Amino acid sequence: MAVGDIYLHAQYYRNATTQQWMSKYFLVLAISPSGDIVYRVLTSQPHGRPNSPPCYHGDPVAGYYLGILGGALNKPTWLDLHPHKDMDGDIFAQNISDEVISFCRPLPIGMLCPALSCAANAPDTTNAQYGLILNARDTLGCP
């Protein structure tokens, strides 16, 4: 697992009507010293997010436009900047082992660096997440 990796979580939430598990892709933004994962989900639903500028912190929903990434992510895609609690590293590892979470692909560094900046400065990013994301940017050598 590394910053910039995209994963598919096959049991991210339950459909309220059918109670079936629904999947979500997510992007790893940072990893804490204890191994917890700072992440945000990917969505193909704009919900008022613009394509340009790619980094959008306004209403109704903050996001970062990534474009069409290809493969299974073959629709216009945004990094959803709603707040999320960090994912416990041990739970992540168990979900990988149980094949509930699977690696998809890395996000290219040229797309990752500006996405990290946008996510770090999103209104709902916690101070702890902000610091971890900025440290990840530094480690990656982002401009």
Per-residue pLDDT at 115:
98
Tokens encoding 14: 């339950």
Q: Do residues 25 and 40 touch, judged by C-beta distance below 8 A?
A: no
Tokens encoding 19: 């109670």
* pLDDT of 101 higher than 90: yes
In this prediction, residue 114 has a pLDDT band, given cuts at 50, 70 and 90, of very high
Tokens encoding 23: 């999947």
pLDDT digits (tens, 9 = 90+) for 31-47: 999 999 999 999 999 89
* pLDDT of 131 higher than 90: yes
Cβ-Cβ contacts under 8 Å for 86 (sequence gap 6 or more): 32, 36, 37, 38, 39, 129
Number of domains in the chain: 1
Domain of 120 in residue numbering reads as 5-140
* pLDDT of 94 higher than 90: yes
Axis crossing angle, helix 127-140 with helix 109-120, rounded to the nearest 10: 160
Prediction pTM value? 0.95
Residue spans of alpha helices (H) in the chain: 89-97, 109-120, 127-140
In angstroms, the CA 95 to CA 25 distance is 14
